[in-house]
Structure 1
């Protein structure tokens, strides 16, 4: 990433030096091919602006500091010098105004396009982050549902054990009641036997003394 940024900066330096040299040749007024030279300068300005946009994008992507602001200021100074040279020539006054306006409009469109690209990147990042949060929430919800399902099964098993325990307690209670009733019956029978024996003994003693 740093190597690519340095390459853009070197290309920009070479390009601005070439533009400055061509402006010097245009300023001398000795060139016969002024139209061709003017077109080359305009193409160089567009290429330099494209390089600065690429440099700005790479610098932002790398999260590093950028000298794009200084480069743009330098390019604006060279552009003002070029405009001044054109304005000094009466035959190129109208063309210079139109060229500058066209370049300014194109630069503004590039700036808007760059801003829109940044907005789209931010929106894309926000959507990606939102999608990631949704996936995490879905995973957490699935884990909670699975946990609740396990707890439900545990509660159902506990209820089954409680019902079995209650049935066993009921059977034990009925068995205890049956045993108590039998014990009472046995005691009643013993009491009756003792009473009968007592009566028989009394009768026997009565007859024995009489």
Structure 2
């Protein structure tokens, strides 16, 4: 959800940039047919809007940091295009300002009143955009704080998981040692049983031999008595 919200905020900045870009172009185009103080005020208003456009692009660049890599790469290409486009507008403004300084100020008195009205309108537009920008900055700050809080919670959860894994590892090692000890005892018992089996077999063989000898002696005694 954060990624989607970040993308929407980026696009909101982009819409504001497009609007102010249109205004800059209109002022630059209008300055071509203006002279004197009117032209100077128009160019100053365009200059202020270029600064504002720069700030919007900066906010767009900051917003990219909150997006996943896939969306970030796609939007970075658009941001580079906007920066290139704004740089062209800056160059156009510089040329217009240079031309304005070298052009005779023939219509200064006639254009003064309308220029003041245009400047007031530009100031109001700029104030409105600045207020909107402040609201978006506050929203970005809130989202960054939320992201920081989530990061801290994730870190705490990760530490708890690592602690549980460490405890499970110790239990597994203890169980493994117990199994090795039991295996060793089983080997000892197996060797003992095999030794007992060998001794039993030997005792049986000895017993059978003794019985055979006794039977032989008995038969021998009986035979001697019969012969005698």
Give me the TM-score of the superposition, normalised by structure 1. 0.52
Q: Deviations over 1:85-113 (max 9, x none)?
A: xxxxxxxx988655543432222221111
Task: For residue 190 of structure 1, give the secondary structure of its aligned residue in structure 2.
Answer: helix
Alignment partner, residue 164 of structure 2: 147
Q: Distance in 1 between matches of 2:182 and 2:189?
A: 10
Once residues 161 and 123 of structure 2 are traced to their aligned partners in structure 1, the CA distance between those partners, rounded to angstroms, is 56
Deviations 1:30-67 (A, max 9, x none): xxxxxxxxxxxxxxxxxxxxxxxxxxxxxxxxxxxxxx
SS at match of 1:163: helix
2:148 and 2:119 map into 1 onto residues whose CA distance is 43
1:112 corresponds to 2:132:
no
2:150 to 133, 156, 172: 133
1:156 to 170, 173, 181: 173
The separation in 2 between residues aligned to 1:197 and 1:112, in whole angstroms, is: 124
Q: CA–CA distance in 1 between the matches of 2:214 and 2:117?
A: 143
Match of 1:165 in 2: 182
Report the counterpart of residue 122 of structure 1 in structure 2. 139
Bigger relative contact order, structure 1 or 2 (CA pairs below 8 A, ≥6 apart): 2
Measure the CA separation in 2 of the matches of 1:98 and 1:151. Answer: 77
Which digits, 9 at most, give the CA deviation of each residue in 1:104-136, with x for residues without a partner? 222222111101101111111111111112112
Measure, in 2, the Cα distance between the counterparts of 1:100 and 1:200: 147
Which residues of 2 match residues 5-16 of structure 1 at below 5 A? none
TM-score normalised by the chain length of structure 2: 0.48
CA distance in 1, matches of 2:194, 2:204: 15
Mind listing any 5+ residue stretches in structure 2 that lack a counterpart?
1-109
2: CA distance, partners of 1:94 / 1:134: 58
Name the residue aligned to 2:88: none
Aligned to 1:103: 120
Q: Which of the residues 203, 208, 215 maps onto 1:191?
A: 208
Give aligned pairs, total: 118
Separation of aligned partners in 2, 1:190 and 1:170: 30
> Is 1:201 the counterpart of 2:218 in the alignment?
yes
- SS of residue matched to 2:177: helix
- 2:134 and 2:205 mapped to 1: Cα distance? 105
